[in-house]
Amino acid sequence: MTSNLEAQLLALQQEGEQAIAAADTLEGLEELRVSYLGKKGQLGALLRSMGQMSAEERPKIGAIANTVKESLQTSLDKQRAALEAAKIQAQLEAETLDVTMPGIFRPQGRIHPLNGIIDQAFDIFVGMGYTVAQGPEMETDYYNFEALNTPPDHPARDMQDTFYLPDGNLLRTHTSSVQIRYMEKEEPPIRVVAPGRVYRRDNVDATHSAVFHQIELLAIDEGLTFTDLKGTIKMFLQAMFGDLPIRFRASYFPFTEPSAEVDLQWNGRWLEVMGCGMVDPNVMKSVGYDPEIYTGFAAGFGVERFAMVLHQIDDIRRLYASDLRFLRQF
Ligand code: DAH
């Protein structure tokens, strides 16, 4: 009886170790562990028959059973470690990157030259403490003209051929309308730039477009003077164009007094680049600001004009043509 059980135990060990060594997946190995050492496993089944054994046989068989159990457990551990290592190795091999493979060409977008100018201007003005505002392209007569000290019979209205809509509204002719909208909402001190599309009934040619872009500049505070205006414009233009000669030429705009146009010496020629001036007291009054307390300055310039000068573009229409041969150069 004893030797029979002992032989069975040893046979189980031998058979188990062979099966374990042959296991080629972790799942298969786990099945073997359950089959041999599990609660309802083969080793347990053999040991349950120990109940019929005599008291002196029992410790001997018990010791053999322990050796068998430990031996099987050691084999299981060893095989598990080997299978795990093989699994990682296989994974490493399968996921190897071939860094010598040719890459996939992905075309890269670019900043449109007009957006480039707008971004550059923002950077410069934000650096001087300005914020950015926007207003609608479809405007009322009030914001585009009236509140900017340009009543219906004012001759300055002829300077800007306006697109009128059937309902009496219009397409804004300049970004100066944003000055009024911004001042109505905010209180001084104000430092703001407003970019946007503007519309004029111009015939399209190399230097004119019926739709173009402007950037408006407005500063309102106590004690702002023409010197502040000149300093700000000068800093801006030098940051955009480099250290070039600049001159302020007296001019006229209904919404500024005094008004000036700014010229820049570019390739030996004086180029007109922007309009500006001290905000007219009537404009202040139209938004409820007291012109005895506040003064301010404003300026406006055309984005296309800046782009054409800076990038030596000879025809404004190139900026709208979406021709990649042109756009890839920026
Ligand atoms: N709105 C003017 C135009 O479109 C440009 C301009 C001139 C804007 C003087 C201003 C300014 O803010 O002060 O021609």
The DSSP secondary structure of 184-252, one letter per residue, reads: HH--SSEEEEEEEEEE--PPPBTTB-SEEEEEEEEEEETT--HHHHHHHHHHHHHHHH-S--EEEEEEE
Tell me whether residue 266 is exposed, middle or buried, using C-beta atoms within 10 angstroms of its C-beta: 0 to 12, 13 to 18, 19 or more: middle
pLDDT at residue 249, as a whole number: 98
Could you tell me the two tokens for 159? 């300077």
Give the DSSP letter string of 147-172: GGT--TT-GGGGGS---B-TTS-EE-
Strands in 211-221's sheet, in edge-to-edge order, are 131-132, 190-199, 211-221, 295-302, 269-279, 256-266, 246-253
Whether the per-residue pLDDT at 325 is higher than 60: the answer is: yes
Atom of ligand 1 nearest to the CA of 302: 4
263 within domain boundaries? yes
Atom of ligand 1 nearest to the CA of 275: 7
Q: 247 and 117: one domain? A: yes
Closest CA to 209 of 304, 290, 295, 122: 304
Full residue range of the structural domain in which residue 160 is found: 113-327
Rounded to whole angstroms, the Cα distance separating 176 from 145 reads 9
Could you tell me the two tokens for 183? 């001042």
Rounded distance from Cα 176 to ligand 1 centre (Å): 6
How is the chain split among helix, strand and coil, in percent rounded to 5?
A: 50, 20, 30
Whether the per-residue pLDDT at 113 is higher than 70: the answer is: yes
Rounded distance from Cα 202 to ligand 1 centre (Å): 17
Q: 177 and 286: one domain? A: yes
Closest CA to 31 of 46, 45, 16: 16
Ligand 1-lining residues (CB < 6 angstroms): 174, 176, 216, 253, 256, 275-277, 298-300
pLDDT at residue 157, as a whole number: 79
Number of domains the chain is built from: 2
Q: 246 and 318: one domain? A: yes
Ligand 1 pocket, mutate which of 255, 257, 284, 303 (most atoms under 8 A from CB): 255
Rounded distance from Cα 179 to ligand 1 centre (Å): 10
Ligand 1 pocket, mutate which of 224, 276, 306 (most atoms under 8 A from CB): 276
104 within domain boundaries? no
**Positive/negative CA dihedral, 235, 237, 240, 244:** negative
108 within domain boundaries? no
pLDDT at residue 154, as a whole number: 86
pLDDT at residue 2, as a whole number: 58
Q: 84 and 142: one domain? A: no
Highest mean pLDDT among 23-27, 109-113, 160-164, 287-291: 287-291
Q: Whose CA is nearest to atom 5 of ligand 1?
A: 300
Residue 185 pLDDT class (50, 70, 90 cuts): very high
- pLDDT tens digits, residue range 245-300? 999 999 999 999 999 999 999 888 999 999 999 999 999 999 999 999 999 999 99
How many helices (DSSP H) and strands (DSSP E) are in the chain?
Answer: 11, 9
Could you tell me the two tokens for 67? 């050796």
What's 141's domain CATH number? Answer: 3.30.930.10
Q: 167 and 54: one domain? A: no
107 within domain boundaries? no
Rounded distance from Cα 304 to ligand 1 centre (Å): 15
Q: 67 and 121: one domain? A: no
pLDDT at residue 95, as a whole number: 87
What type of residue is 280? D
Q: 89 and 177: one domain? A: no
- pLDDT tens digits, residue range 157-180? 776 689 999 999 999 999 999 999
From 44, 69, 95, the end of a domain falls on 95
Tell me whether residue 93 is exposed, middle or buried, using C-beta atoms within 10 angstroms of its C-beta: 0 to 12, 13 to 18, 19 or more: exposed
164 within domain boundaries? yes
With a CB cutoff of 8 Å and minimum separation 6, the contacts of 160 are: 173, 174, 200
pLDDT at residue 294, as a whole number: 98
Q: 195 and 121: one domain? A: yes
Q: Whose CA is nearest to atom 7 of ligand 1?
A: 275
Mean pLDDT of the chain: 93
Whether the per-residue pLDDT at 1 is higher than 60: the answer is: no
Q: Say which range, 63-67, 93-97, 176-180, 286-290, has the weakest mean pLDDT.
A: 93-97
User: In terms of pLDDT, which residue wins out, 173 or 154?
Assistant: 173
Q: 265 and 225: one domain? A: yes
Atom of ligand 1 nearest to the CA of 179: 12
- pLDDT tens digits, residue range 197-234? 999 998 999 999 999 999 999 999 999 999 999 999 99
Share above pLDDT 70 across residues of the chain, in percent, rounded to a whole number: 98
pLDDT at residue 217, as a whole number: 98
Rounded distance from Cα 153 to ligand 1 centre (Å): 19
Q: 71 and 129: one domain? A: no
Rounded distance from Cα 292 to ligand 1 centre (Å): 23
Atom of ligand 1 nearest to the CA of 255: 13
Contact 275, 251 (CB under 8 A): yes
Rounded to whole angstroms, the Cα distance separating 161 from 210 reads 10
Q: 87 and 118: one domain? A: no
